[in-house]
Chain A
Amino acid sequence: MKVTIVDYNSGNISSVINSFKEVAKDKVNIDVTSDLNKIKSSDKVILPGQGSFKSCVDALNNISGLVDTLNEFAINNKKPLLGICVGLQMFADIGYEETETKGLGWISGKVSKIDNQNGKYKLPHIGWNQINIVKDSKIFKDIDNNSHMYFVHSYEFEPEDKNVISATTDYSSNIVCSVEKENIFGTQFHPEKSDKTGLKIIDNFISL
């Protein structure tokens, strides 16, 4: 099996690489690349993302043919893809960080700033928060409800179809922190930084 982490200059992805390699050991080949042919021939793809919605979308668009390749992989061929943090947010139609920016449009919805309730909630939402699993997701196999995950973000994904939501977390409101729509998976939290529970989620994705 071949798993590819898409390297599109979206910020720091070394922790994502380290965690996937730790889980994969020698059993699974982990590629880190923006090479379109390598992505096409992968069995699974991870789309990380750090920084702003706009900077990540811009970075994707800067690599000629990358968005088309990802569309083909996830939408046409329906192969498993996991978006992490802004990687998940980009599934949306539109994001409002910095300026209004079009997303990949894979899951209808928007990405807007978390309501800090006039300073009551500090932003970014940084640290360990519990997830409330609302739907059986394949990546949550053997993950207990209320498990702690590590978050770092100020924006939240609000999908139109609530059925795609697999987990939420409580910060200011019930923030969507995990989605599953057919072959498309996403986590707002960072499984790569969420200790053993996070590594288990990565293992679940690799084992799909």
Chain B
Amino acid sequence: MLKNRIIPCLDVKNGRVVKGINFVDLQDAGDPVEQAKIYSDGGADEICFLDITASNENRDTIYDVVEKTSKKCFVPLTVGGGVRSIEDINKLLNCGADKVSINTAAVQNPEAVVESSKKFGSQCIVVAIDAKKKEDKWEIFTHGGRNNTGIDAIEFAKKMEDSGAGELLVTSMDRDGTQVGYDIELMSKISSMVNIPVIASGGVGNLDHLVDGIELGNASAVLAASIFHYGKHSIKEAKEYLDLKGIPVRI
């Protein structure tokens, strides 16, 4: 039976791990390579790096981080943030990333998803959807949550599936950093709309939120940052808790 995945996410800036509250107010919290190794040794099903301010800054440091991590961690590694071109994807994959998540570029130029999934295979193209609720719909944000595009997130999710995305990483901008739980409605709407796996992200504050993401949000995988990163819970604890709740996980 296919297991639900738990994916710790490390926000990386200038080669160091940070995790902000609603994308601002950053706190430095460690070396990404060592952190990733701790997670993979602890049973993380995948590791995710998000190069958070990459759209604006020199991002060469991430390549070095990816290269070092991929020589130490033998679980899938996804890297996102500031991925704009086929060349960026190629470089990240060559450094040892297994998947690349595309956000702004996928919105600005959906053809980039078609092209990259053809060139590298759908299995390594994750489209990251950052969405914020507005009345009865969700709108897509880009540039690390700074720009509102007005695009409907549910329709966009379907479009990305048709364009060749292998997975969707769905983040609720309303919930990110708040620790009040995933936007379950958003997750389940997108998950029922598409036939590719959905990774739920944004808002995890406790282990029940992970359970909800899978059971109520119908996500195939749950992504979280701060509950793991600040040592509130280990990956092992999270898996044991999900197992206790009857959710299939790899233990």
A124 touching B166 in the complex, CB below 8 Å, given contacts A14-B96, A51-B120, A153-B123: yes
Q: Which residue among A12, A22, A151, A198 has the maximum number of chain B CB atoms within 10 Å of its CB?
A: A12
Tell me the bound Cα distance from A129 to B58 in angstroms: 38
Q: Contact mask B1-17 → A, CB, 8 Å, 1/0? A: 11111000000000000
Tell me the bound Cα distance from A153 to B109 in angstroms: 26
Q: How far is the CB of A20 from chain B (nearest CB, A)?
A: 11
Q: Give the residues from 163 to 217 in chain B that come closer than 8 angstroms, CB to CB, to chain A.
A: 166-167, 195-197
Q: Is the CB of A50 within 8 A of B121?
A: yes
Is A188's beta carbon under 8 Å from chain B? no
Is B122's beta carbon under 8 Å from chain A? yes
Partner of A124, one of B4, B197, B221: B197
Is A152's beta carbon under 8 Å from chain B? yes
Tell me the bound Cα distance from A154 to B71 in angstroms: 27
Q: Chain B interface residue count: which class?
A: 20 to 34
Partner of B40, one of A154, A171, A195: A195
Q: Is the CB of B1 within 8 A of A127?
A: no
- Chain B: which residue is nearest A50 at the CB level? B121
Interface size for A (C-beta < 8 A) is 38
Q: Is the CB of A124 within 8 A of B122?
A: yes
Q: Is the CB of B197 within 8 A of A127?
A: yes
A127 touching B75 in the complex, CB below 8 Å, given contacts A14-B94, A50-B123, A153-B123: no
Q: Is the CB of B70 within 8 A of A15?
A: yes
Q: Is the CB of B74 within 8 A of A22?
A: yes
A50 touching B195 in the complex, CB below 8 Å, given contacts A14-B96, A22-B74, A193-B74: no
Q: Is the CB of B98 within 8 A of A15?
A: yes
Number of A-B contacts (CB under 8 A): 98
Q: How far is the CB of A188 from chain B (nearest CB, A)?
A: 12
Is A126's beta carbon under 8 Å from chain B? yes
Q: How far is the CB of B111 from chain A (nearest CB, A)?
A: 18
Chain B hits for A171, CB < 8 A: 2
Partner of A127, one of B40, B96, B196, B220: B220
Q: How far is the CB of B36 from chain A (nearest CB, A)?
A: 13
Tell me the bound Cα distance from A51 to B74 in angstroms: 20
Closest 7 CB pairs of A and B: A51-B121, A12-B93, A152-B123, A128-B250, A148-B250, A14-B96, A128-B3
List A residues at the B interface (Cβ < 8 Å): 11-12, 14-15, 18-19, 21-22, 50-52, 55, 116, 119, 122-130, 148, 150-154, 170-171, 192-196, 198-199
List B residues at the A interface (Cβ < 8 Å): 1-5, 40, 45, 70-71, 74-76, 93-98, 120-124, 166-167, 195-197, 220-221, 250
Give me 13 A-to-B residue pairs in the complex whose CB atoms sit less than 8 angstroms apart, sorted by A's number.
A12-B98, A14-B70, A50-B120, A123-B195, A124-B197, A125-B2, A126-B123, A126-B197, A127-B5, A127-B45, A128-B45, A148-B3, A195-B40
